[in-house]
Amino acid sequence: MRKLLYVAVVISMLLMLMLAAATPAMADTVSKWAGSATNTGSGESWTDPGNATGANDTIYTRVALQKKNDAPQNISGNLTLTNFDFTSGDIPDGSTLNSINVEVYCSGSAQIKDYNVYLISGGSSSNNQAVPSGWNSSPKSHNYTIAQWGISGWTLSDIRSSTFGVSIAAYNDTNAGSPPYYAYVDAVNIIIDFTPPGGPPPPPTPVPGGVGGGVAIILDLWGSITGSGEVTGDLSYTAPGGGATFFIPEGDTALAESGGPLMWVGAQAVPPGGPIAVPNAPEGACIIGFAYQFTPSGATFDPPATLTIHYTEADLAPCPNVDPQNPNIVIAYYDSVLGWTVLTPSTVDTVNHTVSAPVSHFTMFALYVPPPAPEPTVAPSPTVAPSPTVAPSPTVAPSPTVAPSPTVAPSPTVAPSPTVAPSPTAAPAAGGKTNIGVIVGPIVAVIVILLVAYWFLSRRKPPTPKEGPKKT
226 and 130 share one domain: no
What is the Cα–Cα distance from 207 to 266, expressed in whole angstroms?
12
Convert the pLDDT of each residue in 348-371 to its tens digit: 998 999 999 999 999 899 999 888
Distances in Å between the Cα of 192 and the Cα atoms of 14, 98, 101, 111 are 34, 8, 6, 29
Q: Is 422 exposed, middle or buried (0-12, 13-18, 19+ CB in 10 A)?
A: exposed
**Percent of the chain surpassing pLDDT 90:** 35
Confidence check: pLDDT of 141 > 70: yes
Question: What pLDDT, on the 0 to 100 scale, is given for residue 19?
Answer: 40
Which CATH number do you get for residue 39?
A: 2.60.120
**187 Cβ contact partners less than 8 Å away, ≥ 6 residues apart:** 33, 34, 52, 53, 54, 55, 56, 57, 105
Tally of CB atoms within 10 A around 311: 20
33 and 166 share one domain: yes
Convert the pLDDT of each residue in 39-63 to its tens digit: 998 889 999 999 999 987 778 899 9
| Domain count of the fold of the chain | 2
Nearest residue to 117 via CA among 167, 79, 62 = 167
What is the Cα–Cα distance from 196 to 227, expressed in whole angstroms?
12
DSSP state of 389: P
SS3 (DSSP) at 15: helix
Convert the pLDDT of each residue in 6-36 to its tens digit: 444 344 444 444 444 444 445 688 999 999 9
Q: Which domain holds residue 112?
A: 28-195
Would the pTM of this model clear 0.85, i.e. be above it?
A: no
141 and 50 share one domain: yes
Question: What pLDDT, on the 0 to 100 scale, is given for residue 296?
Answer: 85
182 and 226 share one domain: no
What is the Cα–Cα distance from 397 to 452, expressed in whole angstroms?
81
Q: What is the largest CA-CA distance in the chain?
A: 235
255 and 334 share one domain: yes
Question: What pLDDT, on the 0 to 100 scale, is given for residue 197?
Answer: 82
Phi first, then psi: what are they for 451, rounded to 5°?
-65, -45
292 and 364 share one domain: yes
* 395 against 115, higher pLDDT: 115
* 75 against 271, higher pLDDT: 75
335 and 231 share one domain: yes
Name the average pLDDT for the chain: 79
Domain boundary among 341, 369, 397: 369
Phi first, then psi: what are they for 307, rounded to 5°?
-105, 130
Peptide linkage before 240 cis (omega within 30 of 0) = no
What is the Cα–Cα distance from 198 to 56, expressed in whole angstroms?
35
DSSP state of 151: -
130 and 190 share one domain: yes
Confidence check: pLDDT of 214 > 50: no
